[in-house]
Structure 1
């Protein structure tokens, strides 16, 4: 069994988002309006938790967060949820590493699409990664949001449940790097709804269906992700006041048992000018007995050295480990440090061979520099594949390759090869391949 790496935790976050970049310019001339700077929970949140059980005891009402559907409503089994208080991140931008706020914006506020609203108008966001769905609550009215969509290649294409839908398709590049696939233009398709001051953005060929599913949830149809069980509200309650959360991030196959055996868990960060509090909340099902100390040790083993001071507590079925990281080095999406002082991704080419009958993709090092296998992660839409380069190699050189099972993966999904820096400070997609 491979030894857990201190890069694992941040790499698992970075690998799901490293392909994203900030599109457009950030408006830095105003102060955000309407956003909370004390945590990402909506003011309409009425959830409390019973300290004896760690589970929610009241009806959940989390404003626009309640619009996020269960993954099953989007034909998915699982999904990673990013939840951010964008106004709080903006307020602390000068305490963060250089370019860190831009990295946050690219992941949490714009995703694959263009910047539609200036950063000073962002309040909160939730992003369901793997299902290409993003909701951003703003300080703008519906008419102001509609006006913002006009200059950005969006066209009104109809209504759904009384809400106008807008669509965009960039008719530029038609193929992905590495060969056949759905092409960049297809993946940049986007449907947007602007309702109650919230931008609902669905990406890719199924973007319209995703937006309509969110609008169904807004109308009260179906189950919401956060309120679908007592577990997620309890995890939220134990991390109240956080400025950013990541619910159910993907895990490496050799992650410590205290993480792998959790039925649900989330990472959370609460910023202050000098020090950021980092928490991991985990819920364990029946028959799983993990102590707070075991979770604290597990988190310490997979976080970079700049994270420290881990302590654990347990209330009912929810166990929380809390530590700290200097705010001036907090940038889980990487890329904020000077390139001259950090290792850079290897210059390497990969070939991809898709076998439709077998449902596999063979990935081979096709030339360039040698690459450490333990710094590379293969994922499909942010989810690490069962087969990784480390299963076969310590170092990749020309001709080395692996075959990855992609049977059952949705058409149009994108496979990434993500390089993570040795210290876990940065993650970068070095190549991607669109699955036919």
Structure 2
């Protein structure tokens, strides 16, 4: 069996690593991949948005299953095109991927089907958006409607910050077309968590709950990022809350998508906040989260290929999914200056030493030059460790990180602090 994975980050490295555990998998291709993935799969230079070229490659290589990592190819209709060509592809259709690619679509869906979320309003005109903010007060959340690589959300603690966010998105075009419409939401207080779930459009199997760390500095200070680390399981998701999420959010959402004529198949990501009134949806993603994937998949004790095929074939109800009774912690090693301006091309050393200590080192923003690995992005590496408890996994991952060096290296020293405090 040959597989194809689309994407180039830490999430895709984790996916390839897990998929490779299936004994029937003889080869995995990754488009375009990265230097870490290149050690365990064949990286292929193709445009991830060229659906025709990807289909031609999959047919030529007789790929049995394609797995899509990032959101942009999903919103570009890759799953539809693959299915039209008789090729198995794990992920939602273009219509179903709107649950991530349009925040307006997602919010309207939740409002229509009574799925708990923050009160909101949608604007395309800056003056109307500002008038609404002035009437609501702060704190308030301003979101670009479309895909903005995890950076299109401003949690404004003052009215001035909110007004500046509107100017940035609607007037200055900071996110291009993705920011030509904004969603303004009430600020919800509580602890955040992420739940990813496998679904075939009917059956839903949640994964181990995780918690991401979005802010760039310790103690949740500084600007939002694509994620500075994660851990699983997240103690804030108690068995009672997990049951509530299934009953009030997951099941109604999957049923709503079918009712709307865009049945959802693949991995659905719930970004949640646990408020005093219960769990509410902050956002949906139409794919595996990053860096949550790097802590969830190492805890999976069932075959990922089998689960994905069951989702595609509509047979998930007959598939058993088991999890290890362990904890996992991922710490993202970023380039100095991220998420603003940062350098590229600095030599990375010590990856092998970290792996010798039992850590997974997932490449995110790296490149090869001769026989050296270099920095090539804001989030450079994701170092993950598993152990019996979260505290033991934390100790193990930070010990492994000591071996890795590159100029300007920056990482949070407090990943999983909430779980340890609990």
Greater share of helix = 2
Higher relative contact order (CA 8 A, sep 6+): 1
